[in-house]
Chain A
Amino acid sequence: MNVPVDEITEPWWAATRGRRLLLQRCLECEQLQHYPRALCTGCGSTALDWTAACGRGVVDSFTVVHRAPGPEFEVPYVVARVRLTEGPILLTNLVGAEQWRCDDPVRLCWREIGDGRLLPVFEKENDGLRIDR
């Protein structure tokens, strides 16, 4: 899978190699945001830093996709919006469980994309032993 980076997002992707989910933090107003940008959407400041998310959140909503946009996706799979404990929302996949409901608590896990970088995905919070983090 070809997932591009740019000069703003490079640190975010680099951190995934160490299984760290970064959020951009504004040094002026302290707002956290995702995806990474060249300015803070809260106050417009360009002074931005990074902080690691704790990896917990809830399912804002989800959909089970039965017809994939391309051959690299094996149906069915779950696309979701996860609201992180810190506030920002990520588009992601939900993995592991058979059944999902909105507001289900989830925790971060990782999926390889083939070039050393990892993709943050989420599993059910109560889904048994956590293998890695």
Chain B
Amino acid sequence: MSAVAIVGAAESDLGVTGKSIAHLQAQAITRALADAGLTVRDVDGIATAGFSRFSTVQLAEYLGIEPCWTDSTAAGGSAFEMYVARAAQAIEHNQCRTVVISHASNQRSARSRSLAGVFEEHTSQAQFEAPYGPLYPLSYYAMIAQRYLHEHRSGRAALAEVAVAARQWALLNPAAYRYGAGELTADAVLDAAMVSSPLTVADCCLVTDGGAAVVLTSLDRARNLRRPPIRILGYGESTTHASMAAAPDLLRPGSFDSAQRAYAMARLGPGDIDVAQIYDSFTITVLLTLEGLGFCRPGEAAEFVADGRIRPGGAFPLNTGGGGLSYCHPGMFGLLLLVEAVRQLRGDCGDRQVRRADVALAHGTGGIMSTHATVILGRDR
């Protein structure tokens, strides 16, 4: 358990904004600081990714600050859960006092994201993989899904349920891209255009603009700020592979290890989690991560999500904002998982509020299931 807390959390504008990355970053950061009752003059540490080659340097200048601590670890969508760990350590060791973790992307307005993804030709494995035409990362997640359905004798309906539940949550979240879009049926997911089998377009996350920020400071100081502190109870991470061929077992990703590390630090287990925010780049990501996080045993996720368990009103509230599938996915979704977890613990979620939310888990995934980071948060009791 750390003696550090999240004291501010906010989104930028989401969806199709027509705004620059810097503008969205500034929006998210000023809103999160206002939420905490702080200003940019209080910030002496920043962590961000996806802004530029020198992300924190660019951001510091844009904000007009000279931070004494920065982190721009490039680990894809899980980077933001990793920043929580690094920031907590930096604050505990008095390297800095107030950290803002932020991210923003205008990828929908800028049309900067393609289905094929980003394949870097200079990497060691590229010459052995690019000639075969995989969609990166989509085809890799598709192969994980194929293996999952084969090994556990499940059908695509189990994948579809993840998207259906995400939509139901999004219908309760006015900020969600699909708010007002109406129910998504399992048939609609199964009948949607196949992209890389067994995944259809409806198994894939949205492509939207969006940004978010959270503010961290010491628990002692947090108790004197505007909002109730949300404590960082535990964190853990795992980096397992980079290439499509390197993972020895597609069904045993690093979430198994990152979760164990986070639970050990928090001295909690899966049964103590009241609300979970799990990276849903694709529907299969959720099924496999539920198993990695210990909410069910390997092979049982399809059964676990059946019967509405992860839908609003179900016994296991999951991705309560609507997730990357129906709420927002600005290329990296990890920070929005943390924002929703904080809001649930504060009781700020309105129609989608989970009752008795004392402990929340946020799990980020990056690359092609390459990086995993788990953060456990709790109310200050």
Contacts and interface: CB of A to CB of B under 8 A. Distances in A.
Interface of A: 1, 3-6, 9, 13, 34-35, 37, 60-70, 72-73, 77, 79-81, 89-93, 101-103, 113, 119, 121
A92 B244 CA distance: 10
| Shortest beta-carbon contacts, A-B, top 8 | A69-B116, A63-B142, A102-B150, A61-B143, A61-B147, A73-B133, A64-B197, A91-B245
Interface residues of B, number: 40
Interface string B295-326: 00000000000000000000000000000000
A61 B130 contact: no
Interface of B: 114-117, 119, 121, 124-136, 139, 142-144, 146-147, 150-151, 193-199, 243-246, 248, 250
A68 B195 contact: no
A1 B131 CA distance: 7
Nearest to A88: B245
B194 A66 contact: yes
B245 A89 contact: yes
Contact of A66 (B125, B144, B193): B193
Contacts of A60: 143, 147, 250
A49 B49 CA distance: 40
21 contacts: A3-B127, A3-B130, A3-B131, A6-B127, A13-B127, A35-B124, A35-B128, A61-B150, A63-B199, A64-B197, A65-B133, A66-B196, A69-B133, A70-B116, A72-B133, A79-B133, A89-B245, A91-B125, A101-B150, A113-B131, A121-B132
Given A79-B134, A91-B244, A62 B146 contact: yes
Contacts of B117: 69
A67 to B, nearest CB: 5
A67 B146 contact: no
Nearest to A70: B116
Given A66-B193, A69-B115, A93-B133, 6 more contacts: A34-B128, A61-B150, A68-B116, A79-B133, A90-B128, A91-B125
Given A37-B124, A79-B132, A81-B244, A65 B144 contact: no
Contacts of B119: 69
A75 B136 CA distance: 16
Contacts of A121: 132
Nearest to A4: B127
A81 B131 CA distance: 14
A78 to B, nearest CB: 9
A121 to B, nearest CB: 8
Contact of A63 (B116, B125, B197, B245): B197
A103 B246 CA distance: 18
Contacts of B248: 89
A63 B150 CA distance: 12
